[in-house]
A and B are shown apart, each in its own frame.
Chain A
Amino acid sequence: MEFCKAAKTECDKIIAKYPEKRAAMLPVLYLAEKEFGHISPEVEKYVGKLLDVPPVKVHEVMTFYTLIAAKPRGKYHFQICRGLSCDLKGCVKIIDYLSEKLGLSSDETSDDLMYTFTPVECLAACETAPMMQLNEDYYGNLTKEKIDDILKENS
């Protein structure tokens, strides 16, 4: 388990920015997630080695943040908002509908590694509530029909 040459160079650059190696934990984890898909226990140990900290310190950070994947994620990652504005605009029905369509409940990934379904807190786009994020893109003013279209486009 090791970074490829390019990623290792990138990692060294990140570490060099900080007065101590440990401070580079979040950006290095982000890089590791991009490289390895998710942060497995082996990756945790590798990151620990890169930053000169015991693996338990990496695990502390990993469990504190929800943003870095500890398990493999699907090709399509649905992060659907359950914040206050979206709730007021009826996101509960949309969340249930998407969950049913994907056949996944909260925080699950399909066996074929195509889809991951994660209800999340506010994504700061209340003006388009109810909304969700699919991989890097925002989709707003969601309706059941719109969900159907999005699923058709991304399958």
Chain B
Amino acid sequence: MPKITIDSTEIEVEKGTTVIQAAEQIGIDIPRYCYHPGLSIVGVCRICLVEIERMPKLQVACYTPVADGMVVHTNNEKVQQARRAVLEFLLINHPLDCPVCDQAGECWLQNFYMQHGLYDSKMVEDKVKKQKALPIGPNVMLDSERCILCTRCVRFCDEITETHELGIFNRGDHTELLPYPGQELDNKYSGNTIDICPVGALTDKDFRFRTRVWYLTETPSVCPGCSTGCNINVHHNDHRPYKAGGIRVSRLKPRYNPDVNQWWMCDEGRYGFTQVDADSRIVAPQKKTRGDWQLLSWQDAIDEIATKIKGILKKHGADAFGVILSPQMTNEGLFAAKRFFQETLEVENIDFEVVAREKGYADDFLMKADKNPNSEGAKKIGLSAVDNSGLEVAQMLADAKDNRLKALYICHHNLEKGFKKEEVKEALSKVDLVIFQGTNQNSTSNLANYCLPSASFVEKDGTFTNFAGRVQEIHKAVEPLGESKPDWTIFRNLSKRLGKSMPYFEAGDVFNALAEEVDAFKGLSYEKIGEHGVLLNGHRASTEKEMGALVA
């Protein structure tokens, strides 16, 4: 393996490593715009120039492979002078409208200029004017004057989505990034171009002018939009909530996970978080009396529901009780539910799967047709009807219609997605006790007798198991809205009221109990999951071939 010296530190690296990667290994961050580890290397921005001894000119660190005995200087006077010159060049036609630019605070032009800037411009020529605030697709806004022509977005559309919408047109200081005439930047992953844009040229229509990025806090999590479970950071506005009009979650950004989504996420997941702060959130326990919803305290709600459940079980037996859990719930919520319904209430009619009538969009990249983050977890925990020799959801509704089902506990589902509206309405109207537990109102919750408020995925800790059997953590970014609580807490409290307490105080306790009891999870612990998740027993990591387009 070649041995090289970077800024007087000797390091041995794999053959074929580039200078920029070798420097990263010893914690030296060489400035870069066009270089991105997930894309091909083009060496066009020139900000990463370094001095390599015995080479006559400065070399681009991103494109130069290491060679044995190489001596590299990444920050001497000559290199700094070159960086100053590159920045001066990049800013010749830059509009310097940082005060109104969304990228301010996370802009690499600003960041590198702070370190290497020339400060006093030598240019007297007028700047070339280009198009500003040009919508180039459903999600992306282009400011051509801010663009430094690094081609990251062009290469993303060429190499990752292979949709080829973008190009670099014209020449000299009139060179401009634009979509192909007559075309829009409209693909299922277009938001990623905003993430990888190092400056303020591509900004997010959904985020522009909403908040300054330095007011945001990042919390690592997992996208609940489908069974892939892309790793994300939730960006939430903790510093100035009063400026955000009740919107606590500002945006979702993909978080690097080499085994799941690399650097990317789809637009459906990226913009699918609005229900978290929507008016439809259920914020307190409530019951319907004579057609009107009436708010309850948690204590009263638990008391009333426990009494009614006990009454029905006594009078009609466990066969008259149906439970519809949801793959939207975390492993912890599902496991606590399993213990509550199976052990405390001894109910067998438990199922979680409602097959959507409209098939979800899927591709061979990140998007899966199953729009639930935890179907695999629910299966492995044993919550399918077949596991419990109980009724399937469809059968529960049929039994309800025939007056054989007296109580139905429904978590999160909008049953209309799987069944006809009239069917659901008729079935539920014949059940004495319908309890709905979920984050938002929907047409099913409207048919219930009781509604219990669940915390949404940004308001709780827990884990999801993705389609490949990878268990990944979500984290609490903001406080549960109103009186809402994590699902596992609600089941724990109900169980205690009905005579069986569960010693769970946080999500980790539930997970560790689950790991002891369920075979697929044996040997795992909450502490072991880590930032990139762990595979369930019997699952193996995807090969490069299976990851397909993921591997650039």
Q: Chain A residues in contact with chain B, CB under 8 A?
A: 41, 54-57, 59-60, 63-65
Contacts and interface: CB of A to CB of B under 8 A. Distances in A.
A56 B170 contact: no
B169 A41 contact: no
A41 B167 contact: no
B171 A56 contact: no
19 contacts: A41-B182, A54-B158, A54-B164, A55-B164, A56-B164, A56-B165, A56-B166, A56-B167, A56-B180, A56-B183, A57-B164, A59-B167, A59-B169, A63-B169, A63-B170, A63-B171, A64-B169, A64-B170, A65-B171
A41 B181 CA distance: 9
Contacts of A56: 164-167, 180, 183
B314 to A, nearest CB: 69
A65 B170 CA distance: 8
Contacts of A60: 167-169
Interface string B140-168: 00000000000000000010000011111
A70 B363 CA distance: 37
B180 A55 contact: yes
Contacts of A54: 158, 164, 180
Q: How large is the interface on B (under 10, 10 to 19, 20 to 34, 35 or more residues)?
A: 10 to 19
B171 A64 contact: yes
A55 B163 CA distance: 11
Interface in B20-78: none
Contacts of B182: 41
Contacts, number: 29
B34 to A, nearest CB: 16
Q: Is the interface of B mostly helix, strand, loop or mixed?
A: loop
Nearest to B175: A64
B167 A57 contact: yes
A52 to B, nearest CB: 12
Nearest to B164: A54
Going nearest first, the 5 A-B pairs with the smallest beta carbon separation are A54-B164, A63-B169, A56-B167, A56-B180, A60-B167
A55 B183 CA distance: 11
Contacts of B166: 56
Contact of B181 (A57, A59, A64, A65): A59
A41 B183 CA distance: 12
Contacts of A63: 169-171
Nearest to B182: A41
A56 B168 CA distance: 9
Nearest to B166: A56
A57 B169 CA distance: 9
B375 to A, nearest CB: 37
Nearest to A66: B171
Contacts of A41: 181-182
Contacts of B164: 54-57
A78 to B, nearest CB: 22
Given A54-B158, A60-B169, 13 more contacts: A41-B182, A55-B164, A56-B167, A56-B183, A57-B164, A57-B167, A59-B169, A59-B180, A60-B168, A63-B169, A63-B170, A63-B171, A64-B171
Contacts of B181: 41, 59
A59 B154 CA distance: 13
Nearest to B162: A54
Contacts of A65: 171
A60 B154 CA distance: 11
A73 B182 CA distance: 23
Contacts of B170: 63-64
B223 to A, nearest CB: 29
Contacts of B158: 54
Interface in B378-393: none
B185 to A, nearest CB: 11
Interface string B368-408: 00000000000000000000000000000000000000000
Contacts of B168: 60
Contacts of B180: 54-56, 59
